[in-house]
Amino acid sequence: MGAYECRAQVARVMKQLALALALITLVACTREGQREPLHEPTSPFEVLGSEFGVSMARVHLGPSRTFRFEAGPCQEVLVFVEKGTARVGLTWLDTGRAARFHAPALLQGMSNDGTVIFAVAALSKEAAIEQIDWARVPKNPSCPPRSNEVVLSDPERSGPFVHAGGRLSVMIYLDGVRDGPPVASLGTLTADSTLAVPEHLHERSAEVLWIQDGSGTMRVGDQTRAIRPGTFVRVPPQTLHGFVPDGTRPLLAYQVYTPSGPEQRFR
């Protein structure tokens, strides 16, 4: 083989090697681009707001994942299934059902596409504390004994209760009429984007709201608060409060009274 032919063969081999290397690099880059981005897994438990003996949270459960709610005589827990199905013991909770616990409860997600639970922890006045710890139940011998039975919402009594010419719809899932003397009630409010709530007060009960959707301003005592999705509001007893919408989006809110009672006006 002459020098010219040798150099030509070397050039062909180098060209083939360069092409092969380019193809390998292209495949590697394509696979890299198809990989899921690295990220920290989100927590299945999120506190939405806490103040003076009431805390609201949301729990995301994957299939067969569990979460333990701590409850006892001094602290009750109310849960509402927003999405999917959950099981506690032999009891199944479908979307739109609520339950009350006065003893520790282990909830298991039973839906392949995930289960979402809205939860409320409320302290009794006998607990003699105001800060809620979702991982620990306060103990005080002054707290009245409670039944360990799981109390379920009754779809036939939950509503909706329609007011203001159809502009306001109220659901009452758990209250004090059927459940005995609980610490708290649990319901939802749905109102159109123009419905204002005149100023009023509750003599013995605090009202706690978590705004799922809606916007406007809320007067609580001598303060005015901006309302938007994700707002947590607690109105103390004997405190004037009212809501003025801005007309842009309907209101959807979770409503808790502690102790229960004022929710009955909607019935």
Give the tens place of pLDDT for each residue, 35-79: 333 333 346 899 999 999 999 999 999 999 999 999 999 999 999
Q: Which residues pair with 152 in a beta bridge?
A: 99
Q: CATH number of the domain at 161-260, please? A: 2.60.120.10
Question: pTM for this one?
Answer: 0.82
Residue whose entry in the numeric block shows the structure tokens 């979702």: 134
| Same fold across 45-152 and 161-260 | yes
Distance CA 240, CA 152 (A): 32
Distance CA 247, CA 262 (A): 26
172, pLDDT greater than 60: yes
Measured over the CA atoms of residue 15, residue 20, residue 25 and residue 27, the dihedral's sign is: positive
Task: Provide the 3-class DSSP secondary structure of residue 72.
Answer: strand
Average pLDDT, the chain: 86
Q: Would you place residue 28 in the very low, low, confident or very high pLDDT band (cuts 50, 70, 90)? A: very low
For 134-149, write each residue's pLDDT tens digit.
999 999 999 988 888 8
Instruction: Give the residue extent of every domain in the chain.
Output: 45-152, 161-260
Distance CA 241, CA 223 (A): 9
Per-residue confidence (pLDDT) for residue 133, from 0 to 100: 94
Q: Which residues pair with 107 in a beta bridge?
A: 67, 88
Sheet of strand 45-51: strand arrangement: 45-51, 54-61, 115-123, 75-83, 98-101, 151-152
- Superfamily of structural domain 45-152: Jelly Rolls (2.60.120.10)
